[in-house]
Chains A and B, each alone.
Chain A
Amino acid sequence: MSKIITVDAIGDTCPIPVIKTKKALEAMTGAGSVQIHVDNEIAVQNLSKMAKQKQISCSSEKIEEKHFVVTMKVEESSITENGKAADEETSCIPDSRNNSIVVISSAVMGEGNDELGKVLMKGFIYGLSQLEQLPKTILFYNGGATLTTTGSDSLEDLKSMEAQGVEILTCGTCLNYYGLSDKLEVGDVTNMYVIVEKMSEAAKIIKP
């Protein structure tokens, strides 16, 4: 079965569509294709340039105004051949890289003074964004939900990580409870089933 990965880069400015696509290509383990949705022709051209350099076959199609789909076909052989220089490094890194999860269950870091805790949490998320190897997923629940929504001090750091392929998920029940359902600024909404699954599958869980 050949696998298809879809990359949604609508609304993203360069170089983010290319970065998201690179992540998707790196995640490819066998033959398959990556379909990237973008909203402008320049992004299509930049993606095509990358495909050409990586010797990946690439085609594009205009679906409608401001909606283009670029398809890159990855063959088994091209992964092993092209992967040599650039991708070998990343494939040597143990699974923990791809499978470490950060769980943020509060707006503050540590117990004691909340004002200090807030500053610490902001610093923690900034620190995460500067890691050489980013976590696969960051889960936000309970008080943590205030960090992915309007007014959070960490939105830029979270958006930058999201742009680099980090999955950012906030608990929907928690958003509801705090009346933040329409204020989510980064990432997607999730539910307890997914939270349990992600945490049980993780190789490493980081909790500030």
Chain B
Amino acid sequence: MKENIVFCKGGGCTAKLGAGVLHKVLEKIPKKADPNLLIGYDSSDDAAVYKVQEDLAIVQTLDFFPPMVDDPYTFGQIAAANALSDIYAMGGNVISALNIVCFPESYDMNILGEILLGGAKKVQEAGGVLAGGHSINDVDVKYGLSVTGTIHPDKIYPNNGGKPGDKLILTKPLGVGIINCAKRVNQASEAAVEKAIQSMTTLNKYAADIMKKYRVHACTDVTGFSFLGHLSEMVDEDKSAHILSSRIPYISEARAYAEEFLLTAAAQRNRNFFGDGVKFEIEDFAMEEILFDPQTSGGLLIAVDASDADALWKELCQLEVKGDIVGEFVDKLPKKIVVSE
């Protein structure tokens, strides 16, 4: 049990490199044009999509991070749910996964066993097969998956496929970053941590299975760059997003902790990078923090045809972890995103 105590150093998606620095580096990497690469990293999408034949493309993604919870088995589940999510956000099906492991040799190997068990459980739940992996002796624990999925090339949900008039649906509550942060300094209640864990370990598979029945134009999953960051990536030249803060689902304790200023560095980095594109018509500090809060294994953010929105929403309500219809795309405004009451 001793190792468990040093296990959690504040990880999850708060450990992501800031969008600002990342952008600068990626700009300088030469890109090879390939007509079969349907989605690559220039569109800030969730996963890469490569067409292998007319009716079949593969979806590839990779995600790993340091622990944000003390229990290794739970951490394994969260890391896997988070990595698998990118496949669902594209509209794909999971077929196989490989483990990515960094683990200190001096630690108790049973801990690693627990992590891998948690991960394997989620891959199995996703209907995929765990096909191997790679491990490195490192000073800190990190775990995740490289996941491969399949998709029909005509049925990809790109980030920026939404249209003005589309309704925006978020499928999980926000605030897990703030709760993890509060927990790190022993100021989170058990109930709050439990709610965050339930949300983080829930696969986006179930929401994705439902959304495929409706006219969905765009989809992404909300992770380290926060709700507003990922929404920014869905907005382009011909539309803006209008968000109703009163409809934003969040874990209730997150508001209290934000009011206590339990603020992460990652949320502030998100604010620095994406804040210029956002107009707040509300006076609500805690809500702003929740909207910039980095999520670990967050929900799907779906742009759906307005006439399908209520039906999709009703069906999503049957799931255990609940979100809401949080706004809509509108014709282009001076700012990318407007947040009102």
Which A residues form the contact surface with B (CB < 8 A)?
A: 13-16, 18-19, 22, 40, 42-43, 45-46, 49-50, 53, 129-130, 153, 156-157, 160, 163-164
Contacts and interface: CB of A to CB of B under 8 A. Distances in A.
Interface of B: 2, 5-6, 10, 181, 184-186, 260-265, 268-269, 271-272, 285
A156 B5 CA distance: 7
Given A14-B263, A14-B264, A15-B264, A42 B269 contact: yes
A14 B178 CA distance: 11
Contacts, number: 56
Contacts of A43: 265
A43 B263 CA distance: 9
Contact of A15 (B5, B263, B269): B263
A15 B272 contact: no
A45 B186 contact: no
A-B complex: 4 closest residue pairs judged by Cβ atoms: A14-B265, A42-B265, A50-B261, A156-B5
A13 B261 contact: no
Majority secondary structure, A binding face = helix
10 contacts: A14-B181, A14-B263, A14-B265, A15-B264, A18-B261, A45-B271, A45-B272, A53-B285, A156-B6, A160-B185
Most chain B C-beta atoms within 10 Å of own C-beta, residue among A40, A50, A129, A130: A50
Contacts of B185: 15-16, 19, 160, 163-164
Contacts of A15: 181, 184-185, 261-264
B224 to A, nearest CB: 15
A129 B10 CA distance: 18
A22 B265 CA distance: 17
A13 B268 contact: no
B71 to A, nearest CB: 15
A130 B10 CA distance: 18
A49 to B, nearest CB: 7
Nearest to B271: A45
B269 to A, nearest CB: 6
B93 to A, nearest CB: 38
Contact of B263 (A49, A130, A160, A163): A49
B186 A160 contact: yes
Contacts of A16: 185
A46 B5 contact: no
